[in-house]
Amino acid sequence: MDVKFSEILQKLPDKINHILLKTPIDVQKNAREIRLRAGRKICVIYGNKLHNVNKILNSDEIQECFKSICGYSVHAHLHEIIQGFITMSGGHRAGLTGTAIYDANNKLINLRAISSINLRISRQILGVAQELIGMLGGELGKLLIVGAPASGKTTLLTDIIKHLECRLVSVVDSRGEIASCLNGTPQHNVGNADVFDCWNKEDAIVSAIKTMSPEFIVCDEIGNEADIKAVEACVGAGVELIATAHAGNFQDMVKRNVIKKILKTGAFENIAILKGKFEPCKVESIVKVSDLFAGAGHNDFGDLSRDYGNIALCEFKNQSKAN
Amino acid sequence: MNLKINQKQIEKLIQLVNWIKTEIRYTQAEIYDIVNDLLSNNNFKSLSFLNDVKNNMNSMPFPTAWETAITNWNSSILKEDEELLSSMANILGASDSTGQISALDHIEKRFETSYEFAKNLCETKGKLCKSLGILMGLAVLVIFI
């Protein structure tokens, strides 16, 4: 029985637990996600494969799983439920979807009739950031890590935080995925970092700068308009930002106007682009933000970037050969 | 059934519901933590089913743990009140704070009605017993005289 797999099963009702206990051990050891969907078979995702369990869940069973994951305390997790996830002990997380309930101001206030639960098995891998740290010569500040979903951005980020355990680090864990705090205790090894659990980024960054005197602020998934203000709060405050953003590759990244605006704030000096979900946590290339703007001669580096992906890769490879 | 104990237990149950409502409203604590806090509160020592709830939660879901504990509780409350208490299993932790508090308000009111009934019954029967006692005493006196 895989330890991480069994940690997740303990959160489920006995009936579902006993069914999943029969999952082959090789599937358990490599399991990334357990998908529970109303009216469909339970599915375990391991590596790039699917293992279907011969059990179709009805909606009552999904509701029971949901309540069990909440510790039969739905009210205590409402904030997380609205964001679509619940953090579980061990750093695992349950992604939720169902029928959305909006208030008169069109603000999402609750979910009902949960239809799918995605149990993401957390496997913190220590040392996975060593390659990236080596490429940057140990200079981790002002770093943006860019990658597609499941490319290892958060895993890398967590390991970077652990690497910085002798420094003053504040972690803005808006979605509870970096430290995965449970009752205030990080479930992942984040060294001596101070964690702002489920805070919005701007409030957390301002508070961290005022109260925690950080040398580094780390946050996950920047990429909307609200994050621009959050990032600007770091600039000029003597704090170095390390963050991640979603993008399949360099070309996808430069198409995102919000990312361009964020890069123009000056909060980042280096962009590490990851290879993707088939080689998680592996770095494709490192791009200097100053180089992105240097050749363009104007505010928008869109035209330059079409070729820049190849240029950056060549420069990186040449640099690697020289080293 | 001991009427006085029944009245006292219902009074405690009203306090219990009120306390739980406050916890849910202001701390949004998990049910497991609420049960632990109740156990450490001397005011609820007489509600011995709470110990069973905590123990049961180690091996069964909370709703089952609560219902089983109530079923096995050696109480002096009426069957209707026991069923009302048991029904809290499907309220506590089952929805958002507002929904739970609204449902618990209703339960609290019903307990208060039971309490008033028990109190009146206690007073009426108490007076009756007192009167019977005096009459018996007088009868004995007359017989001896």
Distance, in angstroms, between B99 CA and closest chain A CA? 9
Note whether A76 contacts B61, CB cutoff 8 Å: no
Compare all CA atoms of chain A with the CA of B66 and give the residue at the minimum distance.
A72
Select from B29, B94, B100 the Cβ nearest to the Cβ of A67. B94
Q: Is A67 within 8 Å of chain B by CB?
A: yes
3-class secondary structure, A238: coil
Contact status, residue A148 vs residue A277, Cβ threshold 8 Å: yes
Identify the pLDDT of residue B122.
78
Q: Is A75 within 8 Å of chain B by CB?
A: yes
Identify the pLDDT of residue A304.
42
Identify the pLDDT of residue A308.
45
Distance, in angstroms, between A163 CA and closest chain B CA? 34
Beta bridge partners of A95: A85, A118
Residue A186, burial from CB neighbour count under 10 angstroms (0-12, 13-18, 19+): buried
B29 contacts in chain A (CB < 8 Å): 73, 76
Q: Give the model confidence (pLDDT) of A39-87 as tens digits.
A: 999 999 997 889 999 999 999 999 999 999 999 999 999 888 988 889 8
Identify the pLDDT of residue B134.
81
What gap in Å lies between CA B103 and CA A199, rounded to an integer?
31
Number of domains in chain B: 1
Contact status, residue A120 vs residue A93, Cβ threshold 8 Å: yes
**Phi, psi values for residue B72, rounded to 5°:** -90, 0
Identify the pLDDT of residue A299.
43
Select from A13, A75, A76 the Cβ nearest to the Cβ of B61. A13
A110 contacts in chain B (CB < 8 Å): 96
Alpha-helical regions (H) of chain B: 3-22, 31-39, 49-56, 62-71, 79-87, 97-144
Q: Look at the block and give the residue holding tokens 């007073």.
A: B123
Residue A60 tokens read as 């009552």
Identify the pLDDT of residue A161.
94
| Partner B, chain A 6-45, Cβ-Cβ below 8 Å | 13
**Domains, chain A, with CATH or none:** 3-120 (3.30.450.90), 130-322 (3.40.50.300)
**Phi, psi values for residue A280, rounded to 5°:** -65, 145
> pLDDT tens track of chain A, all 323 residues?
888 899 999 999 999 999 999 999 999 998 989 999 999 999 999 978 899 999 999 999 999 999 999 999 999 998 889 888 898 888 888 999 999 989 899 988 888 889 999 999 988 778 889 989 998 988 888 999 999 888 889 889 999 999 999 999 999 998 888 888 877 888 888 999 999 998 989 899 999 999 999 999 999 888 888 888 888 888 888 899 999 998 888 888 888 888 888 988 889 999 999 998 888 889 998 988 888 776 554 444 444 444 444 444 434 444 444 44
Note whether B24 contacts A75, CB cutoff 8 Å: yes
Q: Is A71 within 8 Å of chain B by CB?
A: yes
Distance, in angstroms, between B111 CA and closest chain A CA? 24
**Residue A59: how many CB atoms within 10 A of its CB?**
13
Select from A64, A73, A110 the Cβ nearest to the Cβ of B31. A73
* Structural domain harbouring B92: 3-144
Contact status, residue A180 vs residue A192, Cβ threshold 8 Å: no
Distance, in angstroms, between B118 CA and closest chain A CA? 33
Residue A10, CA distances (Å) to A37, A121, B65 in order: 18, 13, 17
What gap in Å lies between CA A131 and CA A284, rounded to an integer?
11
Select from B29, B61, B94 the Cβ nearest to the Cβ of A74. B94
Q: pTM score > 0.80 for this model? A: no
Compare all CA atoms of chain B with the CA of A12 and give the residue at the minimum distance.
B61
What gap in Å lies between CA B90 and CA A297, rounded to an integer?
66
Q: Give the model confidence (pLDDT) of B72-124 as tens digits.
A: 999 888 899 999 999 999 999 998 899 999 999 999 999 999 999 888 887 88
Task: Suggest the residue from A64, A73, A79 to mutate for an interface test with chain B (most B CBs closer than 10 A).
Answer: A73
Over residues B14-28, the mean pLDDT reads: 93
Identify the pLDDT of residue A151.
87
Q: Is A72 within 8 Å of chain B by CB?
A: yes
Identify the pLDDT of residue A3.
87
Instruction: Report, in angstroms and rounded to the nearest whole number, the Rg of chain A calculated over CA atoms.
Output: 21
Note whether B32 contacts A78, CB cutoff 8 Å: no
Q: Look at the block and give the residue holding tokens 């009210």.
A: A75
Note whether B63 contacts A73, CB cutoff 8 Å: no
What gap in Å lies between CA B67 and CA B71, rounded to an integer?
6
Residue A250, CA distances (Å) to A144, A159, A209, A288, A310 in order: 12, 23, 31, 12, 9
More confident residue, A277 or B70: B70
B63 contacts in chain A (CB < 8 Å): 72
Identify the pLDDT of residue A320.
42
**Phi, psi values for residue B69, rounded to 5°:** -65, -40
Strands A194-197 and A93-102: unpaired
Compare all CA atoms of chain A with the CA of B65 and give the residue at the minimum distance.
A72
